């Protein structure tokens, strides 16, 4: 069945999870209760600290006969550490690496397309989706120990969305198996895998019930290249009271910038909670040149400072008759909106929207630093040049990919 632009699930059960402190216990409990199969995808799988507890749960599930498949990204994770790779193999955990770069991979723009979504389906009944990697909240692979937990969200959900997620994960797995078999000249096995991928179709249906409504938006580089961006644009365009966006790597294109500016000009209160700490050169500096236009339109920008902000969530008109909220893996930047495989859950449910809004408002009030237009205008010349260089590098990267943003 063809997936429509938005396929609503009218009777989902939804739980909001903040950070690994809430996400990992819920995920591990589901893994420990698994009976038949586990499908798991993540960009980054780090085995430090509490990340190892998730790996242990996957091993326990496989050891008692559960069919466990794990897919990690070739850049975010790469090759698993040898001890864990051997443990996974001995327990029966099957693991594939999505698009390993190899020695010269970064020189090929087509290889910049990454698996960035974070999905887990347990027994075909429970779905976890969000922005949280398998990574200890108090540990960063590049910066070491963190004094405060990483700020991020996921959802645990049951209902028809689980089937949609399971089918898309099955298709990706079978295609990766087919590619691996072709590389090893195992053509019959590759044909079987491709047929299995073709057979794994979207089976979700919708009921005639009432709210809450939820939809799983999947971005790929074939049929669904702009689903998540279009969902944001529609919701922002329909906003009447309030827009709150928390985004880790924020570099919106012209359409999104214009939508936010127009919303602010028509009286909507637009609040952005963005990364305040330096993490990566490009992501940190390339975002700053777009702040001026937003600030001039009256958009409020709060920079999160206690730790790294990794959330990719938004709430629009939470207290109205038509609330809108999203939790997922997609940043509002070119990598997520133009290149990566992403997954966001979109919800029209007042209870969920209000709960997420409260957590974001608390973060802005107690952990965010409001950026004043005067402060932005007085940035040192050296910082401005770094911002322009980073922005130019992003433009060059997009040009090399043939993308218009």
Instruction: Say whether 302 is catalytic.
Output: no
For 127, list phi and psi in degrees, rounded to 5: -120, 135
Exposed, middle or buried, 287 (CB in 10 Å: 0-12/13-18/19+)? buried
Please tell me which residue in 11, 32, 37, 123 is annotated as part of the active site: 123
My answer on whether 246 and 378 are in the same domain is: yes
* Mean of all residue pLDDT scores within the chain: 90
My answer on whether 121 and 236 are in the same domain is: no
pLDDT of 327 reads 98
Distance CA 171, CA 186 (A): 19
Query: Could you tell me if residue 358 is inside a domain?
Result: yes
Please identify, among 129, 144, 160, the residue that sits at the C-terminal boundary of a domain.
160
My answer on whether 125 and 233 are in the same domain is: no
Distance CA 256, CA 10 (A): 28
Distance CA 126, CA 301 (A): 35
My answer on whether 229 and 154 are in the same domain is: no
My answer on whether 27 and 140 are in the same domain is: yes
Instruction: Say whether 317 is catalytic.
Output: yes
Query: Could you tell me if residue 178 is inside a domain?
Result: no
Query: Could you tell me if residue 171 is inside a domain?
Result: no
What is the torsional sign of CA 273, 277, 280, 282?
positive
My answer on whether 270 and 336 are in the same domain is: yes
Please identify, among 160, 176, 201, the residue that sits at the C-terminal boundary of a domain.
160
Please tell me which residue in 9, 310, 333, 349 is annotated as part of the active site: 310
53 CB neighbour count, 10 Å cutoff: 16
Distance CA 328, CA 267 (A): 27
How many domains would you assign to the chain? 2
Residues 6 or more apart from 94 whose CB is under 8 A from it? Answer: 68, 69, 70, 88
Query: Could you tell me if residue 184 is inside a domain?
Result: no
My answer on whether 235 and 363 are in the same domain is: yes
Query: Could you tell me if residue 182 is inside a domain?
Result: no
Please tell me which residue in 9, 46, 118, 152 is annotated as part of the active site: 118
Structure tokens at 76: 């975010």
Phi-psi region of 124 (alpha: psi -120 to 50; beta: other; left: phi over 0): left
Please identify, among 143, 160, 177, the residue that sits at the C-terminal boundary of a domain.
160
Instruction: Say whether 310 is catalytic.
Output: yes
Instruction: Say whether 312 is catalytic.
Output: yes
Distance CA 265, CA 4 (A): 32
Range of the structural domain that residue 348 is part of: 217-400
pLDDT of 101 reads 84
Please tell me which residue in 312, 333, 349, 387 is annotated as part of the active site: 312
My answer on whether 236 and 123 are in the same domain is: no
> Distances in Å between the alpha carbon of 110 and those of 11, 41, 106, 154, 402?
39, 21, 9, 29, 10
Please tell me which residue in 7, 73, 116, 387 is annotated as part of the active site: 116
pLDDT in tens, 121-132: 999 999 999 999
Strand, coil or helix: what is 166? helix
CATH number assigned to the domain comprising residue 323: 3.30.870.10
> Distances in Å between the alpha carbon of 34 and those of 31, 39, 367?
5, 11, 37
My answer on whether 145 and 228 are in the same domain is: no
Query: Could you tell me if residue 304 is inside a domain?
Result: yes
Band (pLDDT 50/70/90 cuts) for residue 42 is very high
What average pLDDT does range 25-31 have in this prediction?
Answer: 98
pLDDT in tens, 134-188: 999 999 999 999 999 999 999 999 988 999 999 999 999 999 998 877 765 565 5
**How far from each other are the two terminal CA atoms of the chain, in whole angstroms?**
31
Query: Could you tell me if residue 21 is inside a domain?
Result: yes
Residues 6 or more apart from 199 whose CB is under 8 A from it? Answer: none
Query: Could you tell me if residue 1 is inside a domain?
Result: no
My answer on whether 150 and 22 are in the same domain is: yes
Question: Please, which residues bridge with residue 327 across strands?
Answer: 313, 345
pLDDT of 399 reads 86
My answer on whether 395 and 249 are in the same domain is: yes
My answer on whether 117 and 241 are in the same domain is: no
Please tell me which residue in 9, 140, 167, 317 is annotated as part of the active site: 317
Band (pLDDT 50/70/90 cuts) for residue 105 is confident
Please indicate, yes or no, whether the overall pTM of this predicted structure exceeds 0.85: yes
pLDDT of 178 reads 87
């Amino acid at each position: 069945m063809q997936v429509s632009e938005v396929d609503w699930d009218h009777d989902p059960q939804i739980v909001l999870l903040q950070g690994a402190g809430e996400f990992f216990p819920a995920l591990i409990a589901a893994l420990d209760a698994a009976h038949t199969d586990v499908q798991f995808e993540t960009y980054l799988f780090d085995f430090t600290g509490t990340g190892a507890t998730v790996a242990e749960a996957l091993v326990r599930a496989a050891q008692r006969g559960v069919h466990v498949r794990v897919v990690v990204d070739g850049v975010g994770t790469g090759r698993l550490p040898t001890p864990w790779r051997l443990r996974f193999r001995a327990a029966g955990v099957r693991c594939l690496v999505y698009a390993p770069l190899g020695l010269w991979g970064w020189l090929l723009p087509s290889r910049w397309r990454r698996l960035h979504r974070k999905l887990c389906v347990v027994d075909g009944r429970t779905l976890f989706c969000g922005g949280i990697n398998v990574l200890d909240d108090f540990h960063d692979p590049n910066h070491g120990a963190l004094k405060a937990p990483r700020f991020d969200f996921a959802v645990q959900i049951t209902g028809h969305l689980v089937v949609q997620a399971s089918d898309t994960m099955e298709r990706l797995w079978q295609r990766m198996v087919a590619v691996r078999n072709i590389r090893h000249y195992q053509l019959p096995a590759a044909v079987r895998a491709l047929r299995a991928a073709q057979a794994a179709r979207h089976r979700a249906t919708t009921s005639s019930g009432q709210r809450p409504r939820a939809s799983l938006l999947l971005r790929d580089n074939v049929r669904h290249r702009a689903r998540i961006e279009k969902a944001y644009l529609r919701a922002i365009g329909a906003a009447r009271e309030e827009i709150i966006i928390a985004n880790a790597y924020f570099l919106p294109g012209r359409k999104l910038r214009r939508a936010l500016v127009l919303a602010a000009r028509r009286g909507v209160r637009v609040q952005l909670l963005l990364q305040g700490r330096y993490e990566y050169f490009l992501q940190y500096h390339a975002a700053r040149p777009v702040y001026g236009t937003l600030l001039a339109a009256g958009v409020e920008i709060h920079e999160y400072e206690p730790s790294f902000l990794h959330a990719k969530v938004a709430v629009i008109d939470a207290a109205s008759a038509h609330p809108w909220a999203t939790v997922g893996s997609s940043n509002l930047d070119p990598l997520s909106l133009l290149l990566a495989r992403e997954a966001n859950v979109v919800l029209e449910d007042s209870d969920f929207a209000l709960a997420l809004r409260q957590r974001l408002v608390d973060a802005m009030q107690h952990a965010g630093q409001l950026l004043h237009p005067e402060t932005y205008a007085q940035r040192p010349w050296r910082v401005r040049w770094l911002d322009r260089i980073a922005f130019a590098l992003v433009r060059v990267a997009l040009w090399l990919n043939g993308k218009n943003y």
